[in-house]
Structure 1
């Protein structure tokens, strides 16, 4: 397996597990992952949020970890990366207002490079106008964004993921095993038993 260079675009109040788990898992299998956030540089951190399912009509939100970025947003060029990871949480809601972020996201779709998007990351995909006629899972509250962007909402179990072309998507962090496994397939990563 050739190690891949992966860009992770995250922001304040991205979901804690959806940021830290894929970051660490991809590093653990030998890939390089650069986590960036607009207006921040390597060594800065983002605040994350823990979203939990506790019997209410929607998830609860609690403070998560301070996640340290390992690359500077202003210095990265999407063309230098093999794949993209987009965590969910509240980060995508405002990240889609940055033209540079939108341009980066579009690059990965224009060049058909692997993209892993989970939960509210669909808001960023919709803002980048890359969902037309594409199947995409997301947190159920983001179904409207997927459909209004011309996408086909994949209504799947919270612990499932779906791959269509270069996009693997999932509804929320309980899908990590399926979501990360499907992303590894897109990356060409093989795990030996």
Structure 2
């Protein structure tokens, strides 16, 4: 059964964490509406590609343009079945947007499936929805998870694990796409 899914992105969202889930969910027959505060349908956001090359943290390279297909100002969260929050640098400033946080709280209050990856849980923490929840994320975000009352789930060394806690599916980074999307699709079923 096809679901209507909302994906919140912003400039310098992680390229793979927006594009790959967008394509996987569409392949499975779901409708994915992409939004960005301050941008209308037909706009794009810049993406960044984060890579793990053996340094103390990931490297960042220019990505592609990612299409926004829905006006952020017109979003009615009650019309969506699920929410996807990719990572990258976008969550660091999107979490300051009161409307973004209101939308996230709607999905949490309604216990609708939420998938967040990498730095995406920064938005969950800012929205106050991690209290008592287990959450995986990029290791640098673990402080926000625990400071907001959540329990940090340490990822596999290969960053390819995901974790489901109730209606919330989280993962540390794009190498976890198979596990993250599989668990999210299970919640959507």
Normalized against structure 2, the TM-score is what?
0.98
Q: Deviations over 1:100-119 (max 9, x none)?
A: 00000000000000000000
1:178 paired to 2:179: yes
1:126 paired to 2:101: no
Aligned to 2:112: 113
CA deviation after TM superposition for structure 1 residue 122, in Å: 1.0
Aligned to 2:93: 94
Aligned to 1:183, what secondary structure does the other structure show? helix
Q: Note the 1:49-60 alignment, pairs <5 A.
A: 49-60=48-59
Structure 1 stretches of 4+ with a deviation exceeding 3 A read: none
Partner Cα separation in structure 2 for residue 35 and residue 90 of structure 1: 17
Partner Cα separation in structure 1 for residue 108 and residue 143 of structure 2: 21
Partner Cα separation in structure 1 for residue 164 and residue 107 of structure 2: 15
Partner Cα separation in structure 1 for residue 182 and residue 64 of structure 2: 24
Q: Note the 1:18-167 alignment, pairs <5 A.
A: 18-157=17-156, 158-167=159-168
CA deviation after TM superposition for structure 1 residue 76, in Å: 1.2
1:17 paired to 2:16: yes
* Structure 1: tracts of 5 or more residues without a match: 189-193
Aligned to 1:191: none
Aligned to 1:132, what secondary structure does the other structure show? coil
Normalized against structure 1, the TM-score is what?
0.96
CA deviation after TM superposition for structure 1 residue 181, in Å: 0.3
CA deviation after TM superposition for structure 1 residue 156, in Å: 2.0
Partner Cα separation in structure 2 for residue 151 and residue 82 of structure 1: 24
> How many residue pairs get matched?
187
